[in-house]
Amino acid sequence: MIYKNLFARCILIKAIRMNAPTNAMKESTPVFIFLALVVVLH
């Protein structure tokens, strides 16, 4: 559980850092957040 939480935090940090003013990054950010939520819930 601890490793999963750290992995999810890393994904969220990467998603926030990659929130660049480009359409590709804006579209990929929710995907990283969704993956992080899936990792936390399972």
pTM for the complete prediction? 0.38
C-alpha–C-alpha distance, residues 19 and 24, integer Å = 9
pLDDT of amino acid 40: 82
Q: Is 35 helix (H, G, I), strand (E, B) or coil?
A: helix
Cβ atoms of residues 8 and 40 within 8 Å? yes
Give me the average pLDDT of each 10-residue run along the chain (42 residues). 76 69 63 80 76
pLDDT at 9: 80
